[in-house]
Amino acid sequence: MARYTGPVCRLCRRESQKLFLKGKRCSTEKCAMERRNYPPGQHGAARMRRRRVSEYAVQLREKQKVRRIYGLQEAQFRNLFRRAAGEQGITGDNLIVALESRLDNVVY
């Protein structure tokens, strides 16, 4: 099972909100969101003048945010979503239940 080992503060900055991926550090003034409150990359500071965001972009950002919070790769997330969609009830609620009941999340 692959795991993201790159800079996690960059992920918080990409989502423009704290994801608390570094634990206590995100609660202090040393958090990257406190120091550099703009998206990462060459054009990050220039993107502060944001254009209108499409509905697809909003949905994609929310999906990526959930993936990053739970530390999943795309294939794992897709399999969980398919399983949640196949169950009775609301797919979103089923997905959250499946994510919260994963062993790595319960132990953590």
- pLDDT for residue 98: 92
Cα separation, 2 vs 73, in Å, equals: 7
**Residue 92, SS3?**
helix
Nearest alpha carbon to residue 13 among 42, 43, 44: 44
Three state DSSP letters for 31-61: CHHHHCCCCCCCCCHHHHCCCCCCHHHHHHH
Locate 105 and state its tokens: 């999340």
Ordered domains of the chain (ranges, CATH) = 1-51 (1.10.1050.10)
pLDDT tens-digit profile, the chain (108 residues): 677 777 778 888 888 788 888 888 888 888 887 778 888 877 777 766 777 889 999 999 999 999 988 889 999 999 999 999 999 999 999 999 999 998 877 776
The pTM of the full predicted model, rounded to 2 decimals, is 0.77
Q: Which residues contact 63 (CB under 8 A, 6 or more apart)?
A: 77
* pLDDT for 48: 66
